[in-house]
A and B are shown apart, each in its own frame.
Chain A
Amino acid sequence: MSRVDGLVQDGSARLGWGPALATVVRMDVQQRLRSHTWFIMLAVWFVVIGLVTWGAFASFNVLSAEEPVGPGAGRFVFEAVVGFVLFFGLLVAPAVSASTISGGRSGGTLAVMQVTLLTPGQLLLGKWLASWIAALAFLATALPYIVVAMSMGGLDVSGLVVFVAMVAVELGVVCAVGTAASAVADRTLFAVVVTYLLVALFTFGTLVSFALTMPLTQTTIPANNPRWAVAEGEVAPEGPETCFGPLVPQTAYDTRTTYWVLAANPFVVVSDAVPTPARVPYDADDPDTWAPDGVMTTISFGVRYLQRPPEMNVLCAHGEPAEPGDEEAWRGTPVWPLGLGLQCVVAGGLLAWGRFRLSTPAARLPRGHRVA
């Protein structure tokens, strides 16, 4: 080996996080970048989002009836694009993340990395970052359409930035779950399926459990009859002016105890984190300013609505007319920190398990090595 000496070895130094992560990420990202299918997928994706943008724009024109480009078109189209990117990202992120470590296990490359100075935490974090970067490529591909939506006007930049950032965060959470699952699972297929199931649990499971618990929240509110003072040619005000008659129990749902189930839904997390946009005010004199809410704003409003006390959903509850302005003043409490927290607990727990499974010398034999 005289030909290859001249190497000074540091006997005590450990591998720093910087070079460790940079190397793991580089290896992973370069592997992906050199596959043609990757670029074909991104190209298809670019076309598909183009169609979604066009479709959202067309339906906005129908919904806003008269004026071809209303002031809110940008917001509406943008939310459609963001919602679709999030939806598709939730489908893509497990695929790009859940094959990383288990794939290396079956390919024999994982053990080769494990015998280097790389720690299990560095390996796991590096693989996570790499898969996150891959998932973010899908978000980046959609950016031109976001610019198109901006050009339509009606978009506040801060909301836009929060939207894109929250989608990126959600993709990161899903990639963390996928990477951790691939570290835990012996087989790639199993890791991918587990990740999809967890994503489905967050996305649909939250909806299903909310719907199933809904009847349990049924309650009755004593209420009587409302009377509106409507003058000729006027549009009805928000609430009844007076209430009259005997109090009769009325059915209502008190979802204040169950709405939080929806918090972990990725769509809720993203839409709820965005500051409520300044709504184009309903103006009886100028109906052309009416702008339909985008899909994400609708979701956010929906979750906030579920936080209201049941009295607010019953006219003349306890025989009292609602305070004028209560409806508009209702903002609810943000649920996205709770939702993101729940998601992070799941992802963090899985990552800890994955790290344990990557620790060597292993007490348990990693798959891909046969026994003896």
Chain B
Amino acid sequence: MTTPGGTDESGPPAATGLPPDAPPSGITATGVTRRFKSVRALRGVDLMAPPGTITALVGPNGSGKTTLMLVLASLLRPDAGSVRIAGADPAQDPAGVRRRTGWMPDTLGVWDALTAREILEMMGRLYGLDRDVVRSRSGQLLEWQELSTLADEPARVLSRGQQQRLSLARAVIHEPQVLLLDEPASGLDPGSRVRLRDDLRQMAAAGKTILVSSHVLSELDEMADVAVFIQDGRTVRVEDLSGDGATGGRYLITALDVCHLLPVLERYSVAYRRQPGRREDSVSVEVSSAEEAADLLSTLVGEGVRVVAFTPEASRLETAYLELDRMRSVAPPAPGAGVDDDVRPGAPGTDAVGTDSGASGGANRASWRAGRGEDR
């Protein structure tokens, strides 16, 4: 767990604090604050995203993710704190930032009477690219996002997912070094999501700095190298996701016959919890480390239990998120936290935090989660 401000002694080296001689590339933000009248949207965000990595920006609705994105995209002036995007300060040199930054907003802005090709070409022109360069590059990007067949249709005929892909193509028209993607996966079908993930990984491998905000934690888990948690406008935790992925925590064990499993667990005095509802054949156990998990599995198998599945209940990102959530609900609400009035994690239609695999222990849940927890 971290202290607010991102100084986490147990965290990964890249994310603990900020070295004074930070390289002039990627994204560096220190102590960024921003308020709108009475609402303190950002109260001190620290973020560092080195080139070649995908950084996930995670936090509940209203935590300040989009505000931070707007600050990084040079659209909003922070009240305090310093921001460097690829070495340039958005407040001092917005043009320098914009030339090197691609921003994909959460609201889809589409000129519905223009064609996809025209939108790309004109945006490219607005980035100062030559006509010929823009033409060939638009064609490549349309092909890349598989929009070639729709390239000369008005953008209004594009589906939401296609508009989303067009938006991504538009964000990279000037081949930026830094990509800021605000909820890029919302509205995408599973196939497109996999595509998006692969595209982003590919761009990161090419040395781009990518910052992605999303609620789809399972996906961020698969693509992101580092997760930065934002809550109430503060960086509350930085989690390295680039390790092998196995840690302690709750594991879900599914056996062919649960009646064989339970006596074995009892014999080894392993505390377990039966899964409610349709997961009656599974139990949930807590282990302290990946090694302990491996030991438990080999023991079970050695005892002749026919284990079908042995898997972490939640991804690390989900575990971390839920942990933060619990802490937040225990702590009294921060004064002036008007930003949080509309907090509704897991809005219908989006992959909610802590989906079916979510932790079953609801003891410390916030009131808004309790309802969700029980209706399973």
Contacts and interface: CB of A to CB of B under 8 A. Distances in A.
A and B co-occur in one complex: yes
Contacts of A13: 128
Interface stretch (A24-32, A50-58, A256-264): A24-32
Contacts of A370: 66
Given A112-B105, A372-B62, A15 B75 contact: no
Contacts of B133: 7-8
B140 interface: yes
B108 A9 contact: no
Given A115-B73, A372-B339, A1 B137 contact: no
B87 to A, nearest CB: 11
A117 B122 contact: no
Interface in A97-127: 104, 107-118
Contacts of A16: 128
Chain A binding surface, main DSSP class: loop
B39 interface: yes
Contacts of B109: 104, 107-112
Interface size class of chain B, counting residues whose CB lies under 8 Å from the partner chain = 35 or more
Given A110-B109, A363-B77, A369-B70, A3 B140 contact: yes
B319 interface: no
Nearest to A368: B107
A222 B125 CA distance: 72
Interface size class of chain A, counting residues whose CB lies under 8 Å from the partner chain = 35 or more
A361 B75 contact: yes
Contacts of A5: 175, 206
B254 interface: no
B176 to A, nearest CB: 9
B74 A34 contact: no
Interface string A1-27: 111110111110111100110111011
B128 A14 contact: yes
B111 A360 contact: no
A366 B107 CA distance: 14
A117 B111 contact: no
B105 A108 contact: yes
Nearest to B177: A9
B129 interface: yes
13 contacts: A1-B172, A2-B202, A9-B174, A11-B99, A16-B128, A35-B113, A104-B109, A112-B109, A115-B75, A117-B98, A117-B127, A369-B107, A372-B339
Interface of A: 1-5, 7-11, 13-16, 19-20, 22-24, 26-27, 30-31, 34-35, 104, 107-118, 360-363, 365-366, 368-372
